[in-house]
């Protein structure tokens, strides 16, 4: 479903998903592996940071800010935002 919506905005080629790979990995780990609600919260957080950063600065700088937030969050909560310690 999402792929059909992305075709409208992006050109499709064999390496199409490579651009979204690091971002999706970052969202899954930030939310807590195996936690769907955590992934939702992390995706909304990262989407907001990237959108706001893209408005205030450039899109490339917005991804840098999102990655820095990811690194700081991993230092503070290594299990993810909503992950549980085992």
Q: Looking at the domain assignment, is residue 25 inside a domain?
A: no
Domain of residue 43, residue span: 36-80
Confidence of residue 44 (pLDDT cuts 50, 70, 90): very high
Number of folded domains that form the chain: 1
Residue recorded with tokens 């955590």: 38
Nearest to 74 by CA among 5, 23, 27: 27
Nearest to 81 by CA among 51, 50, 44, 48: 44
48: pLDDT strictly greater than 90: yes
pTM of the model: 0.78
Q: Looking at the domain assignment, is residue 68 inside a domain?
A: yes
Q: Looking at the domain assignment, is residue 76 inside a domain?
A: yes
85: pLDDT strictly greater than 90: no
Q: Looking at the domain assignment, is residue 21 inside a domain?
A: no
The mean per-residue pLDDT over the stretch 39-59 comes to 91
- Cα 2 versus chain centre, distance: 15
């Amino acid at each position: 479903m999402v792929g059909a919506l992305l075709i409208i905005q992006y050109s499709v080629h064999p390496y199409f998903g490579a651009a979204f790979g690091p971002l999706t990995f970052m969202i899954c780990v930030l939310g807590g592996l195996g936690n769907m609600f955590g992934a939702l919260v992390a995706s909304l957080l990262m989407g907001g940071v990237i959108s706001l950063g893209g408005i205030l600065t450039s899109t490339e700088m917005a991804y840098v800010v999102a990655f820095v937030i990811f690194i700081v969050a991993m230092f503070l909560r290594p299990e993810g935002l909503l992950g549980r310690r085992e």
